[in-house]
Amino acid sequence: MERHDTVIIGAGQAGLAMSYHLRERGREHLLLERDRLGGRWHSERWDSLHYQFPNWSLRLPGHQYSGADPEGFCHYSAVVDFLADYAAKIDPPARTGVNVSSVRADGRAFTIETNHGTILAKNVVIATGAFPSPRVPGFACKLSPSIVQLHSAQYRSSDRLPPGGVLVVGSGSSGGQIAEELHRSGRHVLLSVSSHRKVPRRFLGKDVLWWLLELGWMDRPIDSFPGRKPPPAILLSGIDGGHDLDVRRFAAEGVTLLGRTLDADGTSIRVSDDVPVMLSEADAACDEFVRAAVARARELGMVVEASEGHSIPECAALSGAVDLARLGVTSIIWCTGYEPAFDWIHIPVFDAAGAPVQHRGETAVSGLYFLGLHWMHSFKSGALFGVGEDAEYIADRIGS
């Protein structure tokens, strides 16, 4: 039976970064990937998607962006190329086309069942992505079959949808970007608003990511938030040289706002009436960021000019029962995120919702680690430019 010191399951950005740090420490390991090196960057991306952070942030351990446009925002295919270049550079001991069907703890080793046989490992790092299963609410099955339903992972472009209006459910990064694209294509768009944060794309000549790093906000640990509940997503886009997204601006430009989608029946949905609250919270988050950035700018000796206040436009929003057929909606894009899908791991390290119970990737079971999860340790844990720090931490723990 095949044996290894450490097996990494998943060869996206997290798995590759993990392999780099283990090799740097001389630790024998094997990297397993069911698809291609680079993981989900090859798929589950819509056609026009651009990386939402500046090119200068494209970095993994021992490798960083070296192109001619560091302040630009590359198409996602360039991220695929970046990962391919990284894989070629570090030459990981990887096997592709390997599907892992189960992981079990067996005494002092882990038993990994794959479509190519059984593997034993002293350590296992689960690097399969930030909750890999698309989340769609259960009530979606009650909608009429006349309405086409897609998760954002399946969406590719406006012209692949049937004619008619589109309901985008969720105003996180994916929902905001897809809603904007559909609206620009001439579609009648309805946006079911969810909690989100609004920030300026650029402030005092610097991209918002520069400020988030400078302020230390990217390094805020999940443990610092009450109940380990992180703040909502920031609305940003890498399209057109990068810009921020604003739900209020969407409404001013003709997008119809709705509350959170709560239930469905036939061609009707029921939505909440708390859009004003969510928009006010997004405004407050933006004000908090600006205040913090101004204070830090002054500490750095940057010139900060006084800004005049601006009026905040009121936004009408639908609530209660909404008849989608009457509004001409023929498609729904569920931008409702992802959920845990670790039922193939037969080890009791999960909470009631199926999420791994871990601290910076370490679990209560010695030798079992997770990497690349959304907000696993900090804001940047699931980001391409931040996953390497958690990988380094885990590599040190494996070697201790």
Name the percent of the chain in helix, strand, coil, to the closest 5.
30, 25, 40
Nearest to 173 by CA among 152, 150, 149: 152
Q: Does domain 136-334 have CATH number 3.30.470.10?
A: no
The confidence score (pLDDT) of residue 289 equals: 96
Cα–Cα distance measured from residue 82 to residue 86, given in angstroms and rounded to the nearest whole number:
6
pLDDT digits (tens, 9 = 90+) for 180-220: 999 999 999 999 999 999 999 999 999 999 999 999 999 99
- Inform me whether the pLDDT recorded for 309 exceeds 60: no
The confidence score (pLDDT) of residue 16 equals: 97
Percent of the chain residues past pLDDT 70, beyond the cut:
96
The confidence score (pLDDT) of residue 306 equals: 72
- Inform me whether the pLDDT recorded for 308 exceeds 70: no
Containing 5, the helix (H) or strand (E) segment is strand 2-9
The confidence score (pLDDT) of residue 42 equals: 59
Cα–Cα distance measured from residue 275 to residue 266, given in angstroms and rounded to the nearest whole number:
24
Instruction: For residue 375, give Cα distances in angstroms to 195, 215, 332, 387.
Output: 17, 18, 28, 10
The DSSP annotation for 179-233 comes to HHHHHHTT--EEEE----B---SEETTEEHHHHHHHTTGGG-BGGGSGGG-PPPP
The confidence score (pLDDT) of residue 37 equals: 84
Which sequence spans correspond to the domains of the chain? 2-132+339-399, 136-334
Sign of the four-CA dihedral 200, 216, 209, 14: negative
CB count in 10 Å sphere of residue 244: 18
pLDDT digits (tens, 9 = 90+) for 256-300: 999 999 999 999 999 999 999 999 999 999 999 999 999 999 999
The confidence score (pLDDT) of residue 162 equals: 97
Contact 169, 261 (CB under 8 A): yes
- Inform me whether the pLDDT recorded for 307 exceeds 80: no
Say whether 136-334 and 2-132+339-399 share the same fold.
yes
**What's the pLDDT band for 313 if we cut at 50, 70, 90?**
confident
Cα–Cα distance measured from residue 116 to residue 96, given in angstroms and rounded to the nearest whole number:
11
Mean pLDDT value across residues 224-249 = 93
The confidence score (pLDDT) of residue 10 equals: 95
pLDDT digits (tens, 9 = 90+) for 98-157: 999 999 998 889 999 999 999 999 999 999 976 568 999 999 999 999 999 999 999 999
Cα–Cα distance measured from residue 199 to residue 245, given in angstroms and rounded to the nearest whole number:
8
The confidence score (pLDDT) of residue 43 equals: 61
Domain at 2-132+339-399: CATH architecture: 3-Layer(bba) Sandwich (3.50)
Mean pLDDT value across residues 376-395 = 96
- Inform me whether the pLDDT recorded for 39 exceeds 70: no
Which residue would you say has higher pLDDT here, 44 or 216? 216
Cα–Cα distance measured from residue 30 to residue 87, given in angstroms and rounded to the nearest whole number:
14
